[in-house]
Structure 1
Amino acid sequence: MATIQPVIITSDLDRLRTFYERLFGAMEVSRFPEDGPTFFVNLKLGDSELGLVNEAATDLSAPQRILLSVKVDDVNGLLDQAESAGGRVLGPSNDMPWGERVAHIHDPDGNKVNLTQPLR
């Protein structure tokens, strides 16, 4: 059995960790090292995990090739909170023909994040 864990490399680990905690209720489950400057933080979001790696030389202008998609209970409610958490809303949500409401945001580093919600 295989498991995939997305890991985001960032030049500002604390800012990115705070964004995912505030917007999605992520909980820190581990960090390395436990003492001293942090290199890696593992966050729990529902049934998933997201890793954050602190790398001061990260080029935030490099093209992104992976889209983080997060299934949530209320897309529109999170859109209202995204900017105050440090993100940027790219437009309103849309109901898609495959049965999901979808909205696009950027996290504080400019990473693309899809918010998805099953339509009832």
Structure 2
Amino acid sequence: MTIQPIIITSDLDRLLNFYTKLFGAVEKYRIPDGEPAFFIGLQIDDTELGLVIDRDVEVGTAGRVLLSFDVSDVDALLDQVEALGGRVQGPPNDMSWGQRVAHIFDPDGNAVNLTSS
């Protein structure tokens, strides 16, 4: 069994740019093949992330889903978030269990954690 998180967005290209540039996501496929796409499947290391378009979806408020990315350097990625259209919620914190954690929002307002051990 595989579980794939899928983000619903009104601007597919904006989120594609954000996740590609910030996390090095690689486009695996799009449906339909070619333009305009309804769905884009991304590969980020050994994880898949889906982006699907719904022009009527309201953006800007975080939903009930939190995406968490384990990255090599939280601080280095924080410097890129706002330039790519996201928003940094606050400075990173060193947690008592040994992780460094920062909370950000993608350009649609989806909550994203950046963590490193």
Q: TM-score, normalised by structure 2?
A: 0.96
Residue 77 of structure 2: SS of its match in structure 1?
Answer: helix
| Matched-pair contact (CA < 8 Å) for 2:42–2:48 | yes
Distance 1:31 1:24 in 2: 19
Instruction: Tell me, yes or no, if structure 1 residue 39 matches structure 2 residue 38.
Output: yes
Distance 1:71 1:83 in 2: 19
- Relative distance call for 1:80 and 1:63 in structure 2 (3 A) is closer
Give the superposition deviation at 1:98.
Answer: 1.4
| Backbone CA RMSD of aligned residues | 1.1
Describe the superposition over 1:49-97 as per-residue Cα deviations: whole angstroms up to 9, x where unpaired: 1000011011225651010000000000000111111111111100111
Q: Extract unaligned runs of 5+ from structure 1.
A: none
Instruction: Tell me, yes or no, if structure 1 residue 54 matches structure 2 residue 53.
Output: yes
Give the superposition deviation at 1:6.
Answer: 0.3
Q: Extract unaligned runs of 5+ from structure 2.
A: none
**1:116 corresponds to:** 115
* Count of residues in correspondence between the two structures: 117
**1:73 corresponds to:** 72
Distance 1:62 1:83 in 2: 17
Distance 2:40 2:97 in 1: 34
> What percentage of aligned pairs have identical amino acids?
59
Where has structure 1 moved over 6 Å in runs of 4 or more?
Answer: none
What is the letter of the counterpart of residue 75 of structure 2?
Answer: N
Q: TM-score, normalised by structure 1?
A: 0.93
**1:100 corresponds to:** 99
